[in-house]
Amino acid sequence: MAQAGQASGDLGRPVEGVLWMLTTTLAFVGVNGIVRHLGTELPAAQSAFIRFAFGLVFLAPAVWAMRRVALPAGIWPLFLWRGALHVAAVIFWFWAMARVPVAEMAAIGFLNPVVVLVIAGLLLGEGLGRGRVLSVAVALVGALVVLRPGLREVSLGHLSQLVATLFFAVSYIFAKRLSGMAPASVVVGVLSVTVSLGLAPMAWWVWEPVTGVQLAWLAGVAGLATLGHYTMTRAFRAAPLAVTQPVTFLQILWATLLGALVFDEAVDGFVILGGALIVGAVSLNTWAEARRGRIPPQPEP
């Protein structure tokens, strides 16, 4: 169950790791809440573009430092493919977030690592052993509990979030490949640049007048997303995934409370149950992958 730099059985600094991951869950739910609050006031492509433009401001030092990094030949097509996938993912995600209850968005988002498991197992030669198959099966049951097709309407918003989850997962596969070819700061910086450039023409095409208040909210989205990824990284450094991963379930609880208290969304026990099954499946796989010295993906906000 050890991560890099931690001996097997070493819990590292578990309290610190849990606190960092707790902060991560609050930051990501904050992202969801703000986008839900903005609703359909702005087109999804425009909202996503403004969010990533602000993100570029926060990442400006890392982007500026990239000019001194020598990159291997053939890396730019991978960067561009990942950027294109991420552009599609964030548009679908923003569109869905304005239309789907916050707790359901959080629960469905946890399918991202599960989709990566399937892709890596079937297409990248990693295989689908008994543990992975069990994790995928439990997660799919959890998704069915959340969506309950046939018992209620599965809206275009739900389908949009599922498509976003798929694109985020494929983007992660590209990131996994790129991480062995360039420093992490470069991978993140190039993603911000390519996504901003990719979103720009679509945002211009559908552009609506934007107020200072809306700009401030979207700056908050960028800040919270950046904070969430930073605190997640600190959690991984402080303690093994077996310690920090179960804390991510709190993200669904926070989202449920946010939806009920702020947006008057009904508390749906099926969403909590299904989310618990999905997070449990992800945690099971995390435990297995950590024993092999690998860090599985996390849900993308």
d(CA 56, CA 50): 10
Q: Which residue has the higher pLDDT, 219 or 65?
A: 219
Task: List, in sequence order, every residue forming a beta bridge with 152; answer none if it has no partner.
Answer: 149
Tell me: pLDDT of 301 over 70: no
Max mean pLDDT among 48-62, 107-121, 198-212, 281-295 falls in: 198-212
d(CA 190, CA 301): 18
What residues contact 183, with CB distance under 8 A and at least 6 apart?
69
Under DSSP, the state recorded for 78 is: H
Tokens of 53: 């433009």
Structural domain harbouring 271? 14-291
Q: Is residue 296 part of a domain?
A: no
C-alpha angle 295/233/97, rounded to 5°? 90
Locate tokens 């046939």: which residue?
A: 150
Tell me: pLDDT of 212 over 90: yes
Q: Is residue 5 part of a domain?
A: no
The continuous run of DSSP H or E covering 180 comes out as none
Q: Which residue has the higher pLDDT, 152 or 3?
A: 152
Q: Is residue 133 part of a domain?
A: yes
Number of structural domains, the chain?
1
Q: Is residue 6 part of a domain?
A: no
Rounded mean pLDDT, 221-229:
89
Q: Is residue 65 part of a domain?
A: yes
Cβ atoms within 10 Å of 142's Cβ, excluding its own: 26
The pLDDT mean for the chain works out to 84
Residue whose C-alpha is closest to residue 148's, from 269, 4, 26, 300: 269
Distance of CA 91 to the CA centre of its chain: 14
197, with CB counted inside 10 A (0-12, 13-18, 19+), is middle
Q: Is residue 169 part of a domain?
A: yes
Residues 224 and 55 sit within 8 Å (Cβ to Cβ): no
The string of pLDDT tens digits covering residues 30-77 is 999 999 999 988 999 999 999 999 988 888 887 787 777 777 888 899
pTM: 0.84
Q: Supply the pLDDT for residue 238.
A: 83
Q: Is residue 1 part of a domain?
A: no
Q: Supply the pLDDT for residue 207.
A: 95
